Amino acid sequence: MDGLSRRDALRAGGVAGAAGALVLAGASAGRAQPWSWSPQGSVAGSGSGTDPMGVWDPEADQLVASILDRGEAGRVNDLLRTWTRNGQPLPAGLPQDLRDFMEYARQMPSWADQGKLATAVDFNKKRGLYLGVLYGLASGMMSTVIPKEARSVYYSKGGQDLKDRISKTAKLGYDIGNGNAYGPGGEMVVTCVKTRLVHAAVRHLLPQSPHWVGSADEDIPISQNDIMVTWHSLPTTVMRHLTAWKVPIPAHESDAFLHSWQVAAHMLGVRDEYIPNSWDQANSQAAQVLDPILMPTPEGVKLADRLLRLGTNIDLAILSKGVLGAFTRFLLGDHIADGLAIPREPVWDPLLRVSWGPFIAVREGMLTVVPPAQEAYWLFDEFLRQFALWYLAELRMPISIELPMANRDMSQPPR
């Protein structure tokens, strides 16, 4: 069966699968408010209006569950380690059903605009320092107060080695900002397809974990809604902060940055009807799916503490846990920081509140630095520089996104 006909068959079968899964999910996983975001605001411009909380990824889910149950995940991981660039052919020896799926899953959407993607690369180069900090601290720490995501990470294989898991997640932000991200020499398509497969594996494995089952308010993790929640913690949150900081961004660059992430959502298996077509629509959707749900959980508090300690093995006081915590408080607010038990920092907390705005204005050429502010300017600039260097150094290490074959072993201490 060729890729297109196979996809059509899977979509047809997936309707029944998704409906059955929705029954399993039950009312406990329902919304505080009914799903009301209109698909007319999506890149598709239309759609069924089905709540994405009851939609998963039946094409990938059925396939990956079969691979795991057949005991082929280890061999698949070995083969896929050699597939790193978008333009590479798939490795020989992959199971035929997986090869068929990946061949069409790696295809860019018909609405992808190469001009906008090229502009997005330029934007990422110009704003790389800001983006590194926002991806790492605003988006990264926000993941610990997205309850479903925090629980999924904590009890899955990724919770065992958090640094490894965070590196793989951060690779998404790194690859999308890299030159030729979606081109033949880039890695973003590969990263998205592999991540889509990992999501399917987690959906199969986590319901087998009694620890996750005992804490979760759902029966199947990582719905299309959950992916879009995480999506909003990345580009939507980044653009909200850049806008609040009054960083001057031309409209065509802002649109291009959004477009690069719209393509990413599609490549991660999100239906086009759930992908916002503008920043206004993105903010509207985020106001329903992201903003109301942010809250600490026992799992999230532990993850946040471990995240803030990741930089402590670096001999740089400016990346200490206290400074990283202060930036987290500044970016996410006192309510979230207090909920994550992040201590207040007597120097950096007030310094960020008072001096960050002028610092941005100086960096953007809108204000001249004066002697009393020079020390704060240097501290902030050095933080951005050192954080970016650390972030990039971590991501320059070989990172292999692989199918998990088990959940976290809760009897073993995390690394």
Distance, CA of 365 to CA of 202 (rounded, Å): 47
Please give the pLDDT value at position 142.
92
pLDDT band, residue 169 (cuts 50/70/90): low
Poorest-confidence range of 21-30, 197-206, 332-341, 361-370? 21-30
Amino acid letter, 366 = M
Domain limits of the chain? Answer: 102-293, 298-396
386: its two tokens? 């050192």
**How many angstroms separate the Cα of 140 from the Cα of each of 10, 83, 154, 171?**
34, 26, 14, 12
Q: What's the predicted TM-score (pTM) here?
A: 0.88
Are 32 and 291 in contact by the 8 Å Cβ rule? The answer is: no
pLDDT band, residue 12 (cuts 50/70/90): very low
Other beta carbons within 10 angstroms of residue 340's beta carbon come to 24
Across-strand partners of 276?
Answer: 42
**DSSP assignment letter at 277:** S
Are 305 and 341 in contact by the 8 Å Cβ rule? The answer is: yes
pLDDT in tens, 48-81: 999 999 999 999 999 999 999 999 999 999 999 9
